[in-house]
Amino acid sequence: MPTDTHTRPGWLDEDTLDTVRGQVPIVYVEAVPVRVDHLGQVAKVGLLLRAQPDGSISRAVVAGRVHYNESLRDALWRHLSKDLGTEAEPSIPPGVAPFTVAEYFPDPGRSGFHDPRQHAVALGYIVPCAGECHPAQDALDLAWLSPTEAASPDIAAEMSEGHGRLVRRALAHCGRLP
């Protein structure tokens, strides 16, 4: 498995990325990190605390772009390692089919998923993590919440861009939505 968490060459510089974002959807992976019990049922959901570009603080799932010529598995591994640390021991799903697809739009009312910078298509994955997880890169904190806590309106209000909706979809997919 790849261990390099740095950006690979071949990605776009900021000016080119801004131009592309204005013309085509960008592909992302989003991972809802979970702890599972001995039966494989979700016991805890990991949510990051991040500073947003506008200066606000919000909770979020692990998310990031898929680079050119990068497999979905590699993108998931890179972002999970970058945000949760290299000892998180994520179990990337054996199949690459996501549990959901979220379409983010610059218009906040269009889909319930919002990204003011771009139109993006995000493939959502539920990823059990068995190792030591620590907030890394630009994450300020990592909290492990019960499914009931993670699905609560209070926590959803702390999440930006529709991530609260994504977490609820993940819990429903696992049969753990309270």
Contacts 24+ apart (CB under 8 A), 110-115: 111/162, 112/162, 112/165, 113/161, 113/162, 113/165, 113/166, 114/160, 114/161, 114/162, 115/161
pLDDT tens sequence across 143-168: 999 999 999 999 999 998 899 999 99
Would you place residue 9 in the very low, low, confident or very high pLDDT band (cuts 50, 70, 90)? low
CA distance 70 to 26: 14
pLDDT tens sequence across 90-108: 999 899 999 999 999 999 9
* DSSP conformation class of 3: -
pLDDT tens sequence across 12-45: 788 888 888 888 899 999 999 999 999 999 999 9
Cα 78 versus chain centre, distance: 12
Residue 128, C-beta contacts closer than 8 angstroms, at least 6 positions apart:
33, 34, 35, 36, 90, 91
Fold of 30-173: Nucleoside Triphosphate Pyrophosphohydrolase (3.90.79)
